Every structure is written in C-alpha cells, then in structure tokens.
Amino acid sequence: MPYRRTTRYVVAPDGTRVAWHTHFGDLHEQASEGILRSRATVLLSNGIGTSENFWRHIVTSLEQDHRVVHWNYRGHGGSEESRGGDYDVSVHVGDLERITEEVMARGDGRPPHQVAFSMGVRVLLELYRRRPDLVPAMTLIAGTPGAPGSGDPRLAARAALSTVREVFRMATPAVPLATPVVRAVLGSRFAYPLARAVGALRPRAPRDDISEFLRALRTMSPRAYWYTLRGLAEGHAWDVLPSVKIPTLIIAARDDTLVPLREMIRMRDALPHAHWMQVDDAGHAGLLEAGTEISDAVRSFLIEHGMRPDASPSSRESRPSSPS
C-alpha cells in the first residue's frame, strides 16, 4: 500500500545512507512536521527482507494520533547497500542508534517506544544493551534474541548452531549463482501456494500483501540479504534479558515456522514482567495475517504505559479537507 510519508537519511561512519520514514497520515505534508513534533513517537524496526507493507495495520492504527517512524536496514527499501561491505548485527545496531537520536532531535526530545519484528528483536535488544536510555519501552513481535538454539548451554544445541554457521559459510560462494533461480521462483505464480504448502503462510495471509513483499524481496540486493542473514547466526542477546526492566510486550504467533513458539515462550519466561500475547492461526507473517489484533494490542500497551494519543484540535484542523 502507498504511504504518505517523508523520508530522511542518517549517514553511517562508512558513508552509507540509511533511510527512515515519518508517516503523516491525513495531515497536510507541509504542516505535518510541526504537528507531529509534540506527539509520542513509535519507532518500527523491520525483519530481514521485509517490505514496509508488513506494518500497514500498525501504521494505519497509530499514524492519526502518534508520530510513527520506520527505517530500512542496509540494502533494504530506501537504504543504500553497505559501502563498507559490513552487515553484522552490530552495524545495524549502530544504524538504529543514530536513527533513534535523529528521531528524538526532530521530535520532542524523548526516546521513542521501540517496536521490533523478527530480526528487529535481536537488533533492538542489542541497542538496549548498548544504550538503554534510548529504549524506554518495547514491543517484540515474532522474534527472539538469537537464532533458534542460541544461548542454550546444551551440547546438542551448540553443535546444531555451529553446523548452521558452517553451512552459511560454505554456501556463500553459490549466492550469485542461485540468485536468478530464487528471483524466478519469487516472481512466479507458484510462490504464494508454495509458501502456504510448507506452512510459512496461514490461510488468512492476504495474497496482495504477500505479493508486494515478494516483489520487494526479489528486487533487493542478494548480497545484503545473505550477509545480513549470516550475521544473525552469529552471537545472541539472550544474556541481555536479565537486565531488561522496562515495560515490554511480547507478541508470538502459534504457527510460526521461522521463529518457533517454544523460542518465544523461552523469551517470555526470561522476562517474567513482560506482557504476553499469543496469536492463533497466524505464522511469521502475523503482522498481516492478524494485523487488527496485533495493532489493537500495541495501541492498548502504548496507552497503558503513558504514550497516550494526541487529540489536540490543531491535529484535526491541519488535515486536508475532504472533497465535497
């Protein structure tokens, strides 16, 4: 879906331009920045490869009375490929740190409520490790502090993860050769039913939204995707969880085949103070499959923890008038 938004960039130390977008809903674009400046801010961090339409339910719910911002990883959306060639998790954490500071500087100076999906959960927890002052509260959706089995002291779990890392390393030279085949599959009419058949999508996954995601995925840099994916297999942030004392909402999908429910429950058990929501009949695309339920839960959590929507007359008066 097309968003009404403004796009800006932060520049990383290696010169990479990283995009972030402010949604202004039905406000006049020229007046939007001044109006949004005083609103409570929500900052959205994507999953790997995800297109912005994954956020459409949350953006639609919040953009009318909050300041909603989302950003793109290197090689994703409006962001450049990494000029330094680095896609490690620490690089994405640094980008989120700079974007959060810029978002604060252009807003009311307060740190935003951070909402993360999938890979974004790992990135956000690493930001909390580095700069807890930038994370006053967080919502963690369908993502955990590391790859399945990471942080597990058992020998079998460590051996399995070590095998995964070795497979990534050995497969890297084949990425350029596999790219045309992968793009052809993603662009074919078989992509959606195949995802349904392997359980990656549930019956209520909107086909148009998934098609938009697949278009974005097949046009992005294969190098950016692959090296970002490899980076996720290295390290973990499970050790951050005992230090988390801020308000936290965890949203899990019962039928998620990419981030198994048992891993989400493991994270919940490590954060006993966190609010918990389990969405049934939804998989990893739960932001689309159960968009209304999830966006309602996020809104309720924000309000409960002091980020009340803006209902000032100036917000309403500055919206474009409807055609008669």
CATH number reported for the structural domain that contains residue 130 in this entry: 3.40.50.1820
Within-domain flag for 122: yes
Give the residues across from 104 on adjacent strands: none
Q: pTM here?
A: 0.91
Copy the structure tokens of residue 293: 């339920």
Strands across the sheet with 275-279, in order? Answer: 5-11, 17-23, 67-71, 41-45, 113-117, 138-141, 248-253, 275-279
Give the residues across from 67 on adjacent strands: 41
Please enumerate in sequence order all residues whose Cβ is within 8 A of that of 198, keeping only pairs 6 or more positions apart, or say none.
Answer: 257
> Residue 81 belongs to what H/E stretch?
none
Q: Identify the pLDDT of residue 41.
A: 97
Within-domain flag for 49: yes
Ramachandran category for residue 206: left, alpha or beta (phi over 0 → left; psi -120 to 50 → alpha): beta
Full DSSP string of 161-211:
HHHHHHHHHHHGGGHHHHHHHHHHHHTSTTHHHHHHHTTSS-TTS-HHHHH
Per 3-state DSSP, what percentage of the chain is helix, strand, and coil (rounded to 5)?
A: 45, 15, 40
Within-domain flag for 323: no
Within-domain flag for 322: no
- pLDDT tens sequence across 64-74: 899 999 999 99
Q: Flag residues of the chain having pLDDT under 70.
A: 1-2, 308, 310-324
Three-state SS at 112? coil
- pLDDT tens sequence across 301-316: 999 987 767 644 444 4
Copy the structure tokens of residue 35: 């109006």
Pairing of strands 248-253, 138-141: parallel
Copy the structure tokens of residue 175: 């990425």
Domain holding 148, by residue range, is 5-317
Number of domains forming the structure of the chain = 1
Please enumerate in sequence order all residues whose Cβ is within 8 A of that of 64, keeping only pairs 6 or more positions apart, or say none.
Answer: 25, 26, 309
Q: Identify the pLDDT of residue 3.
A: 75
